[in-house]
Structure 1
Amino acid sequence: MNKSLTLITILLFCFACKTPEARKPVSVKTGSFIDQSVERNKKLNAKEQAQFNQIMSANSSNEYLASENGFWYYYNTKTNEAIAPTPNYGDIVNYSYTLKDLKGNLIYPVDNFKNLNYTMDRQELFTGLREGLKLMKPGETVTFLFPSQKAYGYYGDENKIGTNIPLIAEVTVNSITKTEDN
């Protein structure tokens, strides 16, 4: 009995002092979903850019400008005043706009979005319009060509605008009210 107790103790010391080994993963995950999503978005972006190029070449009388934020625009009415303010963070912008698809079909007329007030960067607004308003001065009307990722994206507006729909928006800024924050 003494020998077996000694043998058990020696075996316990041998196995108890073993260093831990790293376990192998059960399954290996790949980035295939991400890769497919990136490829799908590249194709969508190229398709939308081709549509924009077609619209811009058909309307060559307008001087289209590319924004730093990934959309195109031109001025219908431009304010020549160099001192006219553009909105800053917290300013209240009163504006109206219409939305069309790329074929020119009216989705939302100006009556739906007339004399709206937006506090710059403090309220929700789709990305393209939020960035577009930052470029405008009071009294200006600008037509924007928004790719789907700058418009309502994958989800749409859950009403009239579906998934991945690029938009044309004609926006008029009526007034900009500066706030004390600036």
Structure 2
Amino acid sequence: MRKLLFLSAISLLSCNRNAQTAHPPVGGVLSQKDLEISKNRMKNLNMIERNQIQEWISSQNVRYYPTQLNYWVSVEGYDQRERRADNTSISYSYDLYDFDQTKIYDQPVERREARFGHFDELKAVENALRFIHDGEEVTLLVPSALAYGTFGDEKKIDNDIPLIIKLKAL
């Protein structure tokens, strides 16, 4: 019995020695300096985009109101409304535009019976849907960090592009 235990322990140790070492994912691990550079880049980009969006707002006939999540909405006081709870469902659609007001996709993005807390959606869209009423349509002005960020959507939306989102709760 002791020999069996001894052989088992030896084989476990030898398996451990032969195990391959873990390698970082493709692209490697960012150093603290790289993380700081990235953080500062995003902070500066966000500040530039916020100023550009503010300038765009000032040239519009419609009023837009800032939200706590760092985007603007075309409804006053909407984020002070009652918030929809997690696991409630909602159907909605939205169209995406750039700030030249060019529609990006011909067909709207549409979801039926999506459940809050289980969204696979832009954070600004999910957050806005929690506060709008059924049948209501709002316009969101979204900085790139809350849209498709530094990667874009790998289709028509390039990286670092702020968006206008026309959102409707169905």
User: Which range, TM-score by smaller chain?
Assistant: 0.7 to 0.9
Q: 1:63: which partner in 2?
A: 63
- In the other structure, the counterpart of 2:139 is 143
TM-score under structure 2 normalisation? 0.72
Q: Is the 8 A contact 1:48 1:147 kept in 2?
A: yes
TM-score by length of 1: 0.68
Residue aligning to 1:163: 159
Distance in 1 (CA, whole Å) between partners of 2:110 and 2:73 is 20
Separation (CA, whole Å) in 1 of partners of 2:59 and 2:99: 12
CA distances 1:51-76 after superposition (whole Å, capped 9, x unpaired): 111111011x3231111111111039
Q: Could you tell me how far 1:31 is from its partner in structure 2?
A: 3.4
What is the aligned length? 138
Shift of residue 116, structure 1, vs aligned partner: 3.7
Aligned partner of 2:45 in structure 1 is: 44
Is 1:132 paired with 2:94?
Answer: no
Equivalent AA in structure 1 for residue 66 of structure 2 = A
Determine if contact 2:82/2:131 at 8 Å carries over to the other structure.
no
How many angstroms does 1:101 deviate by? 0.8
CA distance in 2, matches of 1:115, 1:70: 24
Percent of aligned positions that are identical: 27
Contact 2:119-2:126 within 8 A present in 1 as well: no
Q: Give the SS at the match of 1:143.
A: strand
- 1:112-168 Cα deviation digits (max 9, x unpaired): 324643211113111111111112111211000011111111221111111111110
Q: Check if 1:93 corresponds to 2:61.
A: no
1:172 corresponds to? 168
Judged with a 3 Å threshold, the aligned counterparts in structure 2 of structure 1 residues 105 and 141 are, in CA distance, closer, same or farther, namely same
The CA distance in 1 between the partners of 2:71 and 2:113, in whole Å, is: 23
Residue identity opposite 2:113 in structure 1: N
Corresponding residue SS for 1:106? coil
Partner of 2:113: 117
Residue 85 of structure 1, CA deviation: 6.9
Q: Matched residues in 1 for 2:160 and 2:128: separation?
A: 19
Q: Secondary structure at the match of 2:166?
A: strand
Mapped to 2, the partners of 1:32 and 1:85 lie a distance apart of 42
- Contact between 2:64 and 2:74, CA under 8 Å: does it hold in 1? yes
2:20 equivalent in structure 1: none
> Is contact 1:85–1:137 with CA below 8 Å preserved after alignment?
no
Partner of 2:103: 106
Q: Secondary structure at the match of 2:124?
A: helix
Instruction: Give the Cα separation in 1 of the matches to 2:114 and 2:123.
Output: 13
Write the distance in 2 (CA, Å) between the matches of 1:54 and 1:35: 29
